[in-house]
C-alpha cells in the first residue's frame, strides 16, 4: 500500500509539472515574453529596447544625473512640479488619480491620467495616443505642456546652465564643454527612466520556475489566454503597443473627457505590469475596480461576457505581475544661483 501511495503521488507530481511546463509554453506561444533573469542579459535587453540607446548609451553617471532631473521641480514654471509628481516612483509610477493635475492646479483638459513610468522603456510608443517614439520624446511633452509643467525648452536650459554643479554633472556624464540643450536634458531623463524595470514572479514562471505562481494565478493566466486578452496585452509589457479601441462595443464611460486616440482611433494598450498598483483604469481613470475593468474590456474589445468569477481569476493572475521595484534614493539637488530663473506661480 505504501509503495502504491508513493507511485500515485509521483505520477500526480509528474502530471502537475507537465501541466506547468505546458502553460509556460502556451503563454510564450501567445506572445507573452519574460524579462531575462540574469542582470547582464536584462541590461542588454533594456538597451536594445531603448530606441535612442545607440545615440545615448546608458552609463551610471547619466543615470544618476537623469534621476536628479526627474525629481527636480525647478524644471517646471512654478518650481513645484517634477516628473515624479505625475509618475510617482513610490506610488506605482503613476499619480493614481483620474485626471492628472498640473500647473495652477489645472486638470488634464482631455481628462487623461498618467500611465506608469515603470517598464515604459519596453513600450513601442509613449503617451495614450502614441505620439512619442521613445522616453526622451515623452519627457519633453509634459515639461512644455501648459496644463502640466508649463515650462519651455529655453527656460529649462537656462535653469540647468545657471547651476554650476549641474554643468559639472553633464560634463562628467558626457564630455567637457558639452552643449547642454533641451534634447540632451530630456534624453538624460529618459536614460534614468530606462532603469525603472520591475522583474516579477511572472517572469520567474516563464523562465522556468514552475512554483513561482500560485495555483490560482496559473488558472488566471490560462483564462487570460483563453479569453483572448493576449490579442492586445502581449509582449514583455503585456501591453504598450497601439491597438484599436472599442472594437465590438462602446466604452461605457467614453463620455468622460474627449480623448479619441490617434488619428486612426488607435490607443496605446495599458501595460499590465504592476496593474494592481495603478488604479484607476482606462485612459480617463473612470474605473477603480480591477474586476470591473476586466469585464468592461471583455465587452468592448472581445464582445464576450466575463463573469465575476472569471474576472476574479484573471485578477489573481495580475497579482503575479507586481514586480520588484528598483531601490530609488531621493537625490540631493544642487542649489540654485542668482542667475537661476525664479518660479512663476501665475496666481
In the chain, where are the structural domains located? 31-40+199-319, 42-194
Sole residue written with cell 531601490: 327
Task: Please report the pLDDT score of residue 181 as a whole number.
Answer: 98
User: Percent of the chain beyond pLDDT 70?
Assistant: 95
Q: Which architecture, in CATH terms, is 42-194?
A: Orthogonal Bundle (1.10)
Q: Tell whether residue 9 is among the known ligand binding residues.
A: no
**pLDDT over 60 (residue 169):** yes
Task: Give 8's pLDDT tier (boundaries 50, 70, 90).
Answer: very low
Whole-Å CA distances, 146 to 101, 104, 133, 136: 11, 9, 21, 19
Following DSSP, what letter does each residue of 203-259 receive, concatenated?
A: HHHHTT-TTSS-HHHHHHHHHHHHTTGGGTS-BTTT--SEEESSSSS--TTTTSS--
* pLDDT tens track for 86-134: 999 999 999 999 999 999 999 999 999 999 999 999 999 999 999 998 8
Is residue 103 helix, strand or coil? helix
Which residues touch 170 (CB under 8 Å, ≥6 apart)?
Answer: 65, 160, 178, 180, 184, 188
What pLDDT, on the 0 to 100 scale, is given for residue 103?
95
| Parallel, antiparallel or unpaired: strands 242-244 and 106-107 | unpaired
Determine if residue 103 is labeled as part of a ligand binding site: yes
Calculate mean pLDDT across residues 276-303: 97
Whether 110 has a binding-site annotation, put simply, is no
**pLDDT, position 19:** 84
Residue 105's contacts (CB-CB under 8 Å, 6 or more residues apart) are none
The rounded distance, in Å, linking the Cα atoms of 237 and 128 is: 15
Is 283 a known ligand-binding residue? Answer: no
Question: Considering only CA atoms, which of 234, 216, 193 is closest in space to residue 31?
Answer: 234
Q: Do domains 31-40+199-319 and 42-194 have the same CATH topology?
A: yes
Q: Alpha helices of the chain — where are they, by DSSP H?
A: 2-29, 39-49, 60-71, 83-86, 135-144, 153-161, 164-173, 182-194, 201-206, 215-226, 290-297, 308-319
Q: Is the pLDDT of residue 138 over 70?
A: yes
State yes or no: pLDDT of 11 exceeds 80. no
Say what the pLDDT of residue 15 is: 43
Pairing of the two strands 106-107 and 266-268? unpaired
What pLDDT, in 10s, does the model give residues 229-255?
999 999 999 999 999 999 999 999 999
Round to whole Å and give the CA distance between 46 and 193.
Answer: 11
* 111 annotated to bind ligand: no
Q: Provide the pLDDT for residue 14.
A: 38
Per-residue pLDDT, 346: 87
Give the pLDDT of residue 13: 40
Q: Is 276 annotated as a binding residue?
A: no
Query: What digits encode the pLDDT tens for the residues 36-52?
Result: 999 999 999 999 999 99
Which residues are catalytically annotated? Answer: 148
Q: Average of pLDDT values for 184-189?
A: 98
CATH for 31-40+199-319, options being 1.10.760.10, 3.40.50.9100, 3.90.650.10, 2.102.10.10: 1.10.760.10
pLDDT at residue 12 greater than cutoff 50: no
Residue 21 or 16, more confident:
21
Q: Which pLDDT band holds residue 142 (cuts at 50, 70, 90)?
A: very high
Task: Give residue 232's pLDDT.
Answer: 97
* Res 82 pLDDT > 80: yes
Please, are residues 119 and 273 in contact by the beta-carbon 8 Å criterion? yes
- For residue 1, the model assigns a pLDDT of 43
Q: Output the pTM of the full model.
A: 0.93
pLDDT mean across residues, the chain: 94
Q: What per-residue confidence (pLDDT) applies to 49? A: 97
User: Using CA atoms in the order 185, 194, 72, 257, what is the torsion angle rounded to 10 degrees?
Assistant: 100
Confidence of residue 347 (pLDDT cuts 50, 70, 90): confident
Backbone dihedral angles phi then psi of residue 323, each to the nearest 5 degrees = -100, 175
Residue 5: its pLDDT value, please?
A: 43
Amino acid at each position: 500500500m505504501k509503495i502504491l501511495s508513493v507511485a500515485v503521488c509521483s505520477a500526480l507530481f509528474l502530471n502537475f509539472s507537465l501541466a506547468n511546463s505546458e502553460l509556460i509554453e502556451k503563454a510564450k506561444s501567445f506572445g507573452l515574453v519574460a524579462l531575462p533573469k540574469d542582470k547582464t542579459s536584462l541590461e542588454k535587453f533594456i538597451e536594445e529596447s531603448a530606441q535612442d540607446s545607440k545615440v545615448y548609451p546608458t552609463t551610471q553617471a547619466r543615470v544618476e544625473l537623469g534621476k536628479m532631473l526627474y525629481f527636480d521641480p525647478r524644471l517646471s514654471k512654478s518650481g513645484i512640479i517634477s516628473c515624479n509628481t505625475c509618475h510617482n516612483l513610490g506610488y506605482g509610477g503613476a499619480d493614481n488619480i483620474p485626471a492628472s493635475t498640473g500647473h495652477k492646479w489645472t486638470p488634464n483638459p482631455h481628462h487623461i491620467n498618467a500611465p506608469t513610468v515603470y517598464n515604459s522603456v519596453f513600450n513601442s510608443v509613449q503617451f495614450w495616443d502614441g505620439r512619442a517614439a521613445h522616453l526622451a520624446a515623452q519627457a519633453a511633452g509634459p515639461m512644455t505642456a501648459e496644463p502640466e509643467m508649463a515650462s519651455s525648452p529655453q527656460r529649462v536650459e537656462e535653469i540647468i546652465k545657471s547651476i554650476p554643479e549641474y554643468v559639472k554633472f553633464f560634463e562628467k556624464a558626457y564630455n567637457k564643454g558639452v552643449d547642454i540643450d533641451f534634447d540632451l536634458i530630456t534624453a538624460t531623463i529618459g536614460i534614468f527612466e530606462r532603469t525603472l524595470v520591475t522583474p516579477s514572479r511572472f517572469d520567474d514562471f516563464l523562465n522556468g520556475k514552475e512554483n513561482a505562481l500560485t495555483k490560482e494565478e496559473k488558472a488566471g493566466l490560462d483564462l487570460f489566454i483563453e479569453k483572448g486578452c493576449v490579442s492586445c496585452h502581449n509582449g514583455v509589457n503585456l501591453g504598450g503597443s497601439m491597438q484599436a479601441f472599442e472594437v465590438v462595443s462602446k466604452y461605457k464611460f467614453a463620455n468622460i473627457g474627449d480623448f479619441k486616440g490617434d488619428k486612426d482611433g488607435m490607443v496605446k494598450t495599458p501595460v499590465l505590469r504592476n496593474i494592481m498598483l495603478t488604479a484607476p483604469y482606462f485612459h480617463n481613470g473612470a474605473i477603480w475596480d480591477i474586476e470591473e475593468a476586466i469585464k468592461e474590456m471583455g465587452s468592448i474589445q472581445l464582445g464576450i461576457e466575463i463573469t465575476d468569477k472569471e474576472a476574479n481569476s484573471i485578477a489573481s493572475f495580475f497579482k503575479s505581475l507586481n514586480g520588484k521595484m528598483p531601490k530609488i534614493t531621493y537625490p540631493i539637488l544642487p542649489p540654485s544661483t542668482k542667475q537661476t530663473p525664479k518660479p512663476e506661480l501665475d496666481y
